[in-house]
Amino acid sequence: MKNIIEANYQSIKKRGLISENTTEYDFVMKLEEEVQEFIDAESSLEIAEELADVILVCLNYAKHYGINIEKQLLLNITKNQTRHD
């Protein structure tokens, strides 16, 4: 997962879409755009592509702000495994 996160972040950074000036608002706006594209997707291929884009924006946010998302995902899975709702 770390390789995917790093490769994606660097590719977006290289394109100039992420910089040290990218704000939390910028990420949220990009996420909103990708979620809307996911909602509007009509074919299975489009749905898969847009879902991947949503996830990649989230991973970029985590990388940009120093969140260990892999660790957090594992913590959340453990929490969900022990929930009784």
How does pLDDT run across 50-73, given as a tens digit for each residue? Answer: 999 999 999 999 999 999 999 999
Record the tokens describing residue 63, joined without a space: 């990388």
Task: Report the alpha-carbon distance of residue 20 to residue 13 in Å, rounded.
Answer: 9
């946010």: which residue's tokens?
61
Ranges of residues in the chain whose predicted pLDDT is under 70: none
The CATH topology of domain 2-82 is Helix Hairpins (1.10.287)
Instruction: Kindly report the pTM of this predicted structure.
Output: 0.92
